[in-house]
Amino acid sequence: MEMDVKVDIHIWEDATDTVVRAELFLRGDHFETMGKARRNPEDRPVPVIGEEIAVARALGSLALQVMESANHKIQDFFEPA
């Protein structure tokens, strides 16, 4: 079996803050999380850095949610009936 799975990432930015929403639909399960980054006002603005940090945080959190869901399914599978 082979399938493609898409993670949707939406980025909001202003002068100092970057917020990312990551969303995944996988076999009927829905996962959604946020990642944030804040630039020190004294630092030069380099938007890609905030974007990368916020995306990495969102994807890390998304990975934890997916792993937790899998762990729950494993527990449910092996619980005595």
- Domain range annotation of the chain: 7-78
CATH class for domain 7-78? alpha beta
Q: DSSP 3-state assignment of 20?
A: strand
pLDDT (tens digit per residue) in 20-45: 999 999 999 999 999 999 999 899 99
**For residues 58 and 33, is the Cβ–Cβ distance under 8 A?**
yes
Measured CA angle at 10 (ends 8, 12), to 5 deg: 170
Query: Rounded distance, CA 81 to CA 76, Å?
Result: 9
Higher per-residue confidence, 80 vs 51: 51
Instruction: Categorize the per-residue pLDDT at 53 as very low, low, confident or very high, splitting at 50, 70 and 90.
Output: very high
The DSSP 8-state label assigned to residue 44 in this structure reads P
Looking at residue 81, its pLDDT comes to: 64
